[in-house]
Amino acid sequence: MPRRPRGSASTRVAASGEWFDEEGPVRQRLPAGEVHGWEPGTNQTLCGLPLSRAGLRAFSHVRWGDVQPATGGAADQVASVCPRCAAAFGRPAARWTRTDPRP
């Protein structure tokens, strides 16, 4: 069976905390604190942290794109996004530019 690439469309979220959104018709459990990418069916994040030993909670109903602070709808209580998981998902690294070039 071929393996899915890391950071695929099925990537979900594991987080250090949780909160409950009381707005809307259904009370929804959402991630809070530090978030990591997680593939359902595995016991570790994309960066290699084991869920149980790191004390992370899995959110199989929340997609990776939904917790990105710039665009996500479930990112209200997200404090930080794991940079190693973001790199595994394929987010481009910050570009380095020279601001004062030599003559």
* Inside any domain, residue 4: no
* Segment 16-60, tens digit of pLDDT: 999 998 887 888 999 999 999 999 999 999 999 999 999 999 999
Amino acid at 39: E
Note the pTM of the prediction, 2 decimals: 0.78
Domain that holds residue 84: 12-89
* Inside any domain, residue 17: yes
* Inside any domain, residue 47: yes
* Inside any domain, residue 1: no
Domains contained in the chain, number: 1
* Inside any domain, residue 5: no
C-alpha–C-alpha distance, residues 73 and 92, integer Å: 21
